[in-house]
Amino acid sequence: MLVAPTLVFVCLFTLFPLGEVLVGSLFKHKLNIPKYQVPVFAGFGNFTDLFKDPEFLQVVTNTGIYLLALIPLLLIAALILAFLLEGKMKGLAFFRLAAFHPTVLPLVSAATIWLFFLTPGYGLWNQFLRLFGYAGPENWAGNPSLAIFALALVAFWKNVGFLMLFFLTGLQNLDRSLVEAARMDGSGGLRLVTRIILPLIRRQTLFVTTIAFIGAFQTVDHVFVLTQGGPSGTSTLPLYYLWQLRFDRMDIGRGDAVTLMLVIALLAFTVTNTLISERHEK
């Protein structure tokens, strides 16, 4: 009886839609093509077509670069901020608020702020670089080599304070007697952090890693505002590509296939991350 209300919501808003996506991914269904306006069974045709499509492969490549550029830096910076803001110092409340403030901004507002920073002609970032002798404005969001990193920069600024809170909570709940005992045994600095503190906050690290990874796959607002997937698709990320399939090209079947692959990828990462963490804990 206690589980039933939650189970009803899970079935209605998770399992049932997932079942529809699974079935829909097996059909060719394109609302803008008369031949496929009525779904036509295609088996795994949508999946094979995707992996033969250079555009989809570009999205996979973009996602890999985005994750590698964002996730490690995000986790390390959030942990360092938590260490810095966990102690006692003057103005601590102000610095905590400053670190967390970008988190409360709407996603579109955050992207718009950074659009002003990254604008080629009068953007503040280019103005700052000129102080160090950098010549010529750089179009950070319009350069094929830099656009994906511009998105990662905005996501980093927006989320680092949010992830810092979970690390900060873990540090504040540490058993101080264990830390002091380690210090008395001669552990300090990096060794104290890697051998004592990080194992003690492993569950917080597991949670932060999981939500950071899932959050990276949810990036779409920044793409709309800053790059719109360009130039030449070099900054198209999964959700933006999914939006293009479903609402721009009206390719329902291929959109369902992409959705299913996203769910499988996120589920695989979450389960693997949890198993690795629990194995180390034992």
Regarding predicted confidence, which is higher, 36 or 147?
A: 147
Domain regions of the chain by residue span: 53-281
Q: Does 282 score more than 60 pLDDT?
A: no
Domain spanning 53-281: which superfamily?
MetI-like (1.10.3720.10)
Q: Is the pTM for the entire model greater than 0.85? A: yes
Q: Does 208 score more than 80 pLDDT?
A: yes
CA distances in angstroms from 273 to 54, 59, 74, 195, 260, listed in the order given: 30, 24, 17, 20, 20
Position 72 scores a pLDDT of: 93
Percent of the chain with pLDDT over 90: 36
Percent of the chain with pLDDT over 70: 95
91 φ/ψ sector (left φ>0, alpha ψ -120 to 50, else beta): left
Position 112 scores a pLDDT of: 84
Position 239 scores a pLDDT of: 93
Regarding predicted confidence, which is higher, 274 or 63?
A: 63
CA distances in angstroms from 178 to 93, 127, 185, 200, listed in the order given: 27, 49, 11, 10
Type of residue found at 182: A
Rg (CA), the chain: 23
**Mean pLDDT, rounded, for 21-44:** 87
Q: Does 104 score more than 70 pLDDT?
A: yes
Q: Does 48 score more than 80 pLDDT?
A: yes
Position 143 scores a pLDDT of: 84
pLDDT digits (tens, 9 = 90+) for 139-182: 788 888 889 998 999 999 999 999 998 998 888 887 777 777 77
Least Cα distance to 120 among 100, 150, 98, 91 occurs for: 150
Ranked by mean pLDDT, the top range of 123-127, 154-158, 194-198 is: 154-158
